[in-house]
Chains A and B, each alone.
Chain A
Amino acid sequence: MELAAAAALAKYLGAGLACLGMGLAAMGVGNIFGNFLSGALRNPSAADGQFGRAFIGAALAEGLGIFAFVVALILLFVVK
């Protein structure tokens, strides 16, 4: 019983720790859009052409945060 309780504790701790990755991905996405905006304010005429690229970068950075979310989900719902 002791071991099962420790395993459950470790499971929830691991899921919580995995959520740190989501915060780090948020920093990455914020970094991309912050830099996009500062560049766009300097040269607004070039901003529209780079809009798609900003979203590709944000999607790639966000995807890694989703991986962390999936790790948390696996720990919560898949690992017995």
Chain B
Amino acid sequence: MAAGNAIDPMHQFEISKIAEFKLFGFDLSFTNSSLWMVIAVSVVSFITIFGTSSRAMVPGRLQSLAEMSYEFVANILTGVTGKEGMRFFPLVFSLFMFVLAANMLGLLPGSFTVTSHIIVTAAFAVLVILTVIVAGVINHGTHFLHLFVPSGLPALLLPFIVMIEVISFISRPISLALRLFGNMLAGHVALKLFGAFTVGLLGAGAASVFAPFPLITAVALTALEFLVAFLQAYVFTILTCVYLNDALHPGH
């Protein structure tokens, strides 16, 4: 790669300040990341508030969208955790809708992908795992620790199994955060690279006849990214439900 026209796929993830704002020595500036978070929340609020305001017997487009997303998340939650899991529905629904909206809005050209920053996804993952721990301790007290001690084990195996269970529990928030972050980052880097290949080939004289090939790939990748954007929101939600299920029904 020549130093002069180096492809810079990471430029799109840079955070720039829109309005400077400092409080008690913390930098609380309104950035482009905050702007797209606000847009994502506005889109979700618009769909859910205006979609449910008319309550027609035969739903219109917006109402069907709101009802479909409600039923989709409710089906995932009750399928994994059973009826009592519906207590966590507000959390799971908000997480799903926000992650989905942020992923989808990130695919607009020139926009900013909120979920491509590990600090955002890590905050979600920590929120989920803290909810699991707090709800597990409140519901079951010390019985929650049976999560790490499967019943019916020989005493010789017990320390190893407990160690493995603890490591597997700790790695849950890490993998939850990294999966969403990695998928979003990798997808957008790939899109940017193929776009840059197209531009680079167009300016390469006779080789410009090959320029449509990376363009076609970029179009196909964009379609794939829409699938990934939905799939990662789905996977994030279903794994949240699986972890919440541990808080409701600990012990194997």
Contact = CB atoms under 8 A, between A and B. Distances in A.
B127 to A, nearest CB: 18
Given A56-B238, A58-B235, A69-B182, 5 more contacts: A52-B238, A59-B179, A62-B179, A63-B178, A66-B181
A59 B238 CA distance: 10
Contacts of B179: 59, 62-63, 66
B80 A66 contact: no
A52 B185 CA distance: 24
The majority secondary structure among interface residues of chain A is helix
B79 interface: yes
Interface of B: 10, 76, 79-80, 175, 178-179, 181-183, 185-186, 231, 234-235, 238-239, 242
A37 B64 CA distance: 30
Nearest to B80: A52
Contact of A56 (B183, B231, B242): B242
5 contacts: A55-B231, A59-B179, A59-B238, A62-B179, A67-B175
Shortest beta-carbon contacts, A-B, top 4: A66-B182, A63-B175, A59-B235, A63-B179
A52 B78 CA distance: 12
B229 to A, nearest CB: 15
A66 B183 contact: yes
B238 A70 contact: no
Given A55-B234, A55-B235, A59-B235, A66 B178 contact: yes
A16 B186 CA distance: 15
Interface in A31-65: 52, 55-56, 58-60, 62-63
A69 to B, nearest CB: 5
Nearest to B186: A69
Contacts of B76: 52
A70 B182 contact: yes
Q: Choose among A52, A55, A60, A69 the residue with the greatest number of B CB atoms under 10 Å from its CB.
A: A52
A7 to B, nearest CB: 20
Nearest to B180: A66
Contact of B178 (A52, A55, A70, A77): A70
A38 B183 CA distance: 27
Contacts of B10: 77
B72 to A, nearest CB: 12
A67 B182 CA distance: 8
A59 B178 contact: no
Contacts of B79: 52
A63 to B, nearest CB: 4
A66 B179 CA distance: 6
A67 B10 CA distance: 19
A1 B231 CA distance: 47
A77 B185 CA distance: 14
Contacts of A73: 185
